[in-house]
Amino acid sequence: MKPLYVPRGRAKEYGDYAVNIYTGCPHRCYYCFAPQVLHREREAFHSRVEPRAWIVEALKKQIERESITDKLVHLCFTCDPYPRGCDDSATREIIRVLKESGNHVQILTKGDGSRDFDLLDSEDWYGVTVSGADHESQEPGAIPEGQRLGIMQNAPCRKWISFEPVIQQDFVLTLLSLIGEDVRVKIGKLNYHPSNIDWARFGRDAEAICKGRGLDYYIKDSLRKEMEGTANE
């Protein structure tokens, strides 16, 4: 078992490595791609959530064997590092192992990671997903977006927001106009689901706001292709 892996495809736009700590996620986001990618039945994926067997021990051995250090490790792609209502103690152990080996973490969550703020420093990233989704129907198991943002503001490290997938464009554009200039943003379209959003126009509007405010921003490749008219090429 090798917990750390080098992201591929769209995931390459994130860290040097990534690790998926849990077997599923209870947040039940309607747009979640993980069950399909993992070939899991959706209900089982959302209801059977536990740390992957022996993941902490395997991580220690891999880091030592491959001399992995000074890398940015993304937590997580196919699960949330803070699955709400589940035993998430493995996340703290994973962060501790990564930090003690000289690596840095990039957290992305719809949960509450404040418990582990004492492990983070200026080389780490704490981020939340914000899309303008309806909490009750589209992300019923996650904590509300406003609460996520409030927690992020207190993180003792670098902060970032993943505006992906964008569900309500006006909400996202407004928030881009209001967030602190010290927050990095990544912006991406809704994939694999229908949407009435004019992605080319939205992308240009979002980028104009980011440039106008001097934000540290990144447009995901799939949205950039829409903006450039090359999405179907």
> Where in the chain are the domains?
1-126+137-148, 164-233
| pTM (predicted TM-score) | 0.94
3-class secondary structure, 6? coil
Residue 7, Cβ density class (10 Å: 0-12 exposed, 13-18 middle, ≥19 buried): middle
pLDDT on residue 12: 62
For the segment 96-107, what is each residue's pLDDT rounded down to a tens digit? Answer: 999 999 999 999
Q: Answer whether 127's CB lies under 8 Å from 14's CB.
A: no
d(CA 200, CA 189): 10
Q: pLDDT tier at 232 (50, 70, 90 boundaries)?
A: low
For residue 8, the model assigns a pLDDT of: 80
pLDDT digits (tens, 9 = 90+) for 14-38: 789 999 999 999 999 999 999 998 9
pLDDT for 15 equals 80
**Which tokens go with 60?**
């220690």
Q: Which residues contact 184 (CB under 8 A, 6 or more apart)?
A: 125, 127, 158, 159, 160, 161, 215, 216, 217, 218
Tens-digit pLDDT profile for residues 152-208? 999 999 999 999 999 999 999 999 999 999 999 999 999 889 999 999 999 999 999
Q: Is 67 exposed, middle or buried (0-12, 13-18, 19+ CB in 10 A)?
A: exposed
Rounded Cα distance, 223 and 221, in Å: 5
